[in-house]
Amino acid sequence: MKKLFPLAVLATLIIAIQLITGWTDTRFYLTQLTMSAYYALLIIGLCVVMGYAGQLSLGHAGFFAIGGYVSAALTTRNLEGLKDTVLIRLFDGLGLLVAGQDIYGDSLLVVTPWAACLAAVLCAGVIAWVLGIPVLKLKGHYLAMATLGFGIIIYRIVLASEVFGEADGISDVPSFPLLPGLSVSGDFGAREENYYIAWGLLIIGLVLLRNLVDSRVGRALRSIHGSEEAAEATGVDTARFKLQVFVISAVYAAVAGVFLTHYNGGIGPSEAGVMKSVRYVAIVAVGGMAHLWGAMVMGIVLNFLSLRGVFGSYDDAVFGFILIAIMLFAPNGILSWNWRGYGAMLLRRGRRRESLREKTDGLA
């Protein structure tokens, strides 16, 4: 029950915002809130890797891009020319392909969004797994550089590959029919449903991670952060746990990428850029590293502001500034810091220590 309370607050708030915007005729806010929700999905995934398991990843935009790009490429790439190959026939027989027309009126044969989505997420998961085995053995600067390097490679591949549209990215990505009558698309008419799809997905993602953190596995992850050596000695297979949580967060990023790409109807190379990865790290840091709710709230707020262009030409500078300010003055995150108030926290600590001392003295 206690756990459900904040979720209930969240759900109420989501519905309230939709109702208020509908009532005041400001429904356009839902656009950025929908997009922010997808970014927040990636951010809570990263939060578990960084804050709980203590592994820095400067390449998460790469996984987002893998998700988005693979799904976009599969749903837009015309397979008409390959129609007669065995593989395509097999796919067609399995109902994985769908025919249509392109903007010039030529006939088009592409992969269905569901199949593309699954392929994209699977692809990101497998890449994370293969990459994670060597990368997660590294620590500190080496880990940072390896993940950064991975992000850059993805960016380069996207920029240099004709399949991924090079610098233009992929446009005209079709909408993604989740259920009959419910599809992920950026059409003006589908705004409310998409708002709920995005937030529904985010809540599901949050609940799952919340559960994970609050369990045997979550404890094991936090123990890795606390002391890898002691965690090993306690029987935690640190390599496996790090890898698994890395894969899970990559999957979160890929899902976010797939959905946002279908919502936007396209994706460009900027989604794979280094600045994006750095921005995600900044948001997790502001939210308070090991603080899922904080990361989520900051993910929503900062992305919302950024997508509305509030920061203008200082967008990147703002995130650079946030990184420095947080790391210098409040490395545990701005939310946990602000709310408690430093004084209150010190008071409580002092009292606790005193009571402890009494007990200790009693023992001695």
Partner 1 sequence: MALLEISRLHKKFGGLHAVNDVSFGVAQGSIKAVIGPNGAGKTTLFNLIAGSLAATSGRVRFNGEDIQGQKPHQIAACGIGRTFQNIKLFHDMTALENVMVGRHLRSRAGFVASMLHMPWTLKEEKQIREKSLELLELLEIDAYADVEATSLAFGQQRAVEFARALALEPTLLLLDEPAAGLNMQETAEVSKLIARIRDLGITVLLVEHDMSLVMEISDEIVVLSFGQKLAEDVPSAIQNNTEVIKVYLGE
Partner 2 sequence: MTIKRHGRKIALWAVMVLAITGMLLPASLYAAQTYKIGAILAVTGPASFLGGPEARTLEMLVDQTNAAGGINGQKIELIIKDSGGNPEKAISFAKQLIEEEKVLAVIGPSTSGETMKIKKIFEQAGTTLISCAAAEVIVNPVAQYVFKTPQKDSFAAQKIFQTMKAMGISKIAVLAGNTGFGKAGKAQLLKIAPEMGIEVVATEVYDKQSKDLSAVVAKIKANKDVQAVVNWSIVPAQAIVAKNMRQAGWDVPLFQSHGFGNIKYVEAAGAAAEGIIFPCGRLLVADQLPDGHPQKALLVDYIAGYEKKYQETASAFGGYAYDAFIILEAAMEKAGMDPAKIRDEIEKIQNLPGTSGVFSFSPQDHNGLDIDSFEMITVKDGKFVPYKGM
Partner 3 sequence: MTAELFVQYLFAGITYGAIYAIVAIGFNIIYNATGIINFAQGEFVMLGGMISITLLPIMPLWLAITTAVMLTMVFGALLEICFIRWLENPSVLRMIIITIGLSILTREAALHIWGESIRSLPYFIGDEVMTVALFGARISPQVLWVIGACGLMVIGLNIFFQTTSVGREMRACAANRRAALLCGINTRNMVTLSFMLSAGIGALAGCVMSPITSTQYDIGTGLAIKGFTVAILGGLGNAMAAVGAGLLLGILEAFSVSVLPLAFKDAIAIAILLLILFFRPHGLFGSRTAAGLKEF
Applying CB under 8 A, the residues found at the interface with partner 1 are 208-209, 211-212, 215-220, 222-223, 225-227, 229-239, 244-245, 248, 290, 349, 352-353, 356-357, 359-360, 363-364
Sign of CA dihedral 191, 194, 198, 204: positive
Q: Does 337 bind partner 2 (CB under 8 A)?
A: no
Give the span between the Cα atoms of 119 and 48, in whole angstroms. Answer: 24
Q: Does 130 bind partner 3 (CB under 8 A)?
A: no
Q: Does 182 bind partner 2 (CB under 8 A)?
A: no
Give the span between the Cα atoms of 216 and 182, in whole angstroms. Answer: 36
- Strand partners of residue 98: 110
Contacts of partner 2 in 89-118 (CB under 8 A): 103-104
Q: Using CB under 8 A, which of the segments 129-137, 230-238, 242-250, 331-339 binds partner 2? A: 331-339
Cβ atoms of 44 and 331 closer than 8 Å: no
Q: Using CB under 8 A, which of the segments 72-80, 238-246, 255-263, 318-326 binds partner 3? A: 318-326
Among 127, 128, 148, 335, indicate the residue that binds partner 3 (CB under 8 A): 148
Number of residues that bind partner 3 (CB under 8 A): 42
- Paired tokens of 348: 């409580």
Query: Residue 193 in 3-state DSSP?
Result: helix
Query: Residue 94 in 3-state DSSP?
Result: coil
Q: Using CB under 8 A, which of the segments 22-30, 71-79, 153-161, 192-200 binds partner 3? A: 153-161
Name the residue type at position 165: G
- Strand partners of residue 135: none
SS3 content of the chain, % helix, strand, coil (to 5): 75, 5, 20
Comparison of 129 and 337: residue with beta carbon closer to partner 2 = 337
Cβ partners under 8 Å of residue 351, min gap 6: none
Sign of CA dihedral 48, 7, 214, 195: negative
Closest CA to 121 of 194, 188, 64: 64
Among 116, 285, 296, 334, indicate the residue that binds partner 3 (CB under 8 A): 285
Binding mask 220-259 toward partner 2 (x if CB under 8 A, else -) reads: ----------------------------------------
Farthest-apart Cα atoms in the chain, separation: 87
Give the span between the Cα atoms of 69 and 253, in whole angstroms. Answer: 12
Q: Choose from partner 2, partner 3, partner 1, none: what does 120 bind? Cβ within 5-8 Å by kind.
A: none
Q: Does 316 bind partner 3 (CB under 8 A)?
A: yes
Report the first-to-last Cα separation within the chain, whole angstroms. Answer: 42
Give the span between the Cα atoms of 257 and 201, in whole angstroms. Answer: 13
User: Closest approach of Cβ 146 to partner 1, in Å?
Assistant: 22
User: Closest approach of Cβ 151 to partner 3, in Å?
Assistant: 9
Q: Choose from partner 1, partner 3, partner 2, none: what does 342 bind? Cβ within 5-8 Å by kind.
A: none
User: Closest approach of Cβ 227 to partner 1, in Å?
Assistant: 4
Query: How buried is 260 (Cβ within 10 angstroms: 0-12 exposed, 13-18 middle, 19+ buried)?
Result: buried
Return residues touching partner 2 (CB under 8 A): 2-3, 5-6, 9-10, 13, 17, 20-21, 24-29, 31-33, 35, 103-104, 159-160, 165-169, 171-172, 186-188, 260, 264-271, 293-294, 297, 300-301, 304-309, 312-313, 315-316, 335-336, 339-340
Residues in touch with partner 3 (CB under 8 A): 54, 56, 58, 134-135, 137-142, 144-146, 148-150, 152-153, 156-157, 159-160, 274-275, 278, 281-282, 285, 313-314, 316-317, 319-324, 327-328, 331
